[in-house]
Amino acid sequence: MPTAAENKHLKQLHILDAATRLFLDRSVTDTAIDDVVKLAGVAKGTFYLYFRDKYDLLDQIVMRRTATLFTESCRVMRARAEKEQLGPVEQIEYLTDEIIARMREDRKVTALIDKRFSACFSPKAIEEYPEMQTHIEYLTGLLETPACPGEEARRMLYVLADMIGCVCCDAILSARPYDIDELIPTIHSILRKLLEVRV
């Protein structure tokens, strides 16, 4: 039986789901709040009860999608890392490939994320997806070296994620000036160079 609080959340979730569908199918610009509330089955006023405006809504959606994309990719990688006893470099490479594969598969989500992949590193995202925290700690561990302590490794992880997110958005969506197939070897080579030094 849903409590009052859960019910409230329900309306908010309906709005988020409806908006996500519309933002993906059409685009953010071509979606009016009117469309969102109609599809969500709530009244116009209700929208303003939960969101400041369309961009507040968009931010929340991007945060959710990037967090989902990141955590799912991490889970897949870590499962395989354990089974196959992958080394740190291999793990990072595998994770990168996994993220890129998902972005290629679902170009609409990639277009929605635009270049905000690192939104999943925001405090809000980590709070709402506690799993993020465990993955970040795990990956930070992989990047740590005596010359690169915890906080620095965490920053490096963030920069790498942002780089991959930005570069891949352009490469997947516009293929200009390079398409994703051309850039994957370059990205791998960068990752290897950064991590080999560890040795």
Which positions touch its own copies (CB under 8 A)? 115, 118, 121-123, 148, 152, 155-156, 158-159, 162-163, 165-167, 170, 176-178, 182-183, 185-187, 189-190, 193-194, 196-197
**Angle, alpha carbons 12-13-15 (nearest 5°):** 65
CA dihedral 179, 191, 98, 20 (to 10 degrees): -70
Q: Which does 26 bind (CB under 5 to 8 A by kind): DNA, its own copies, none?
A: none
**Least separation, in Å, of the C-beta of 24 and its own copies?**
20
Q: Which stretch binds DNA (CB under 7 A): 30-38, 103-111, 145-153, 188-196?
A: 30-38
Binding mask 158-197 for DNA (x = CB under 7 A): ----------------------------------------
Which residue in the set 17, 21, 39, 46 belongs to the binding site for DNA (CB under 7 A)?
Answer: 46
**Least separation, in Å, of the C-beta of 80 and its own copies?**
26
The backbone torsions φ and ψ at residue 29, rounded to the nearest 5 degrees and listed phi first, read -65, -35
Neighbours of 28 (CB within 10 A): 17
149: number of CA atoms within 13 Å, CB side?
1
Neighbours of 43 (CB within 10 A): 12
